[in-house]
């Protein structure tokens, strides 16, 4: 068994080793990750401020085109401010393109569709392709440790 450090090193090792076999728990991991994204989206759209950070590891790093890198607390503050903004509402939907699983690490290619509806204006919709890196943490839950996204 090859041990590696760092998400991208692990992904490269798996790709170069010709790892094509699917572990029995990979499907369960994919379902758990898709379920976590679905739950987060439902919580966000329902404005459950107390749950909006549940999907993110404390080690989160966010790269969104044109913005400075954010860590866990900054990302959570941004989301909480959006959900408590009384002048507009936000909603999200996602489409998964692919989930790749390597042990306790997974990469999800997906597209988010975000809609902002001002109370007295026309809705604005943004399409945001992205890449989320998940890790299965000690409590058994899959959480995002890195994500990169950009607006189309």
**Residue ranges per domain, the chain?**
23-149
Q: Over the range 21-40, which residues count as b (16 or more CB within 10 Å of their CB) and which as e?
A: eeeeebeebbebbbebbeeb
Which tens digits make up the pLDDT trace of 50-97?
A: 999 999 999 999 999 889 999 999 999 999 999 999 999 999 999 999
Task: Please determine, for residue 16, whether its predicted confidence score (pLDDT) is greater than 70.
Answer: no
Of 139, 144, 134, nearest in space to 71 by CA? 144
Selected residue with higher pLDDT from 2 and 116: 116
Task: Please determine, for residue 15, whether its predicted confidence score (pLDDT) is greater than 60.
Answer: no
Selected residue with higher pLDDT from 6 and 38: 38
Q: What pLDDT does 23 receive?
A: 64
CATH class of 23-149: alpha beta
Q: Is 67 exposed, middle or buried (0-12, 13-18, 19+ CB in 10 A)?
A: exposed
Rg of the chain over Cα atoms, rounded to whole angstroms, equals 17
């Amino acid at each position: 068994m090859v041990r590696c450090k760092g998400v991208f090193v692990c992904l490269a090792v798996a790709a170069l080793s010709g790892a094509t076999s699917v572990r029995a728990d990979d499907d369960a991991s994919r379902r758990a990750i898709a379920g976590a994204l679905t739950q987060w989206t439902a919580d966000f759209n329902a404005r459950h401020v107390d749950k909006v950070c549940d999907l993110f590891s404390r080690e989160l790093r966010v790269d969104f085109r044109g913005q400075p890198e954010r860590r866990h607390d900054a990302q959570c503050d941004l989301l909480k401010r959006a959900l408590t903004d009384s002048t507009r509402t936000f909603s999200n939907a996602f489409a998964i393109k692919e989930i790749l699983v390597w042990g306790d690490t997974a990469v999800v290619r997906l597209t988010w569709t975000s809609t902002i509806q001002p109370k007295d204006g026309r809705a604005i919709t943004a399409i945001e392709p992205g890449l989320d890196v998940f890790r299965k943490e000690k409590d058994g839950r899959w959480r995002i440790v890195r994500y990169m996204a950009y607006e189309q």
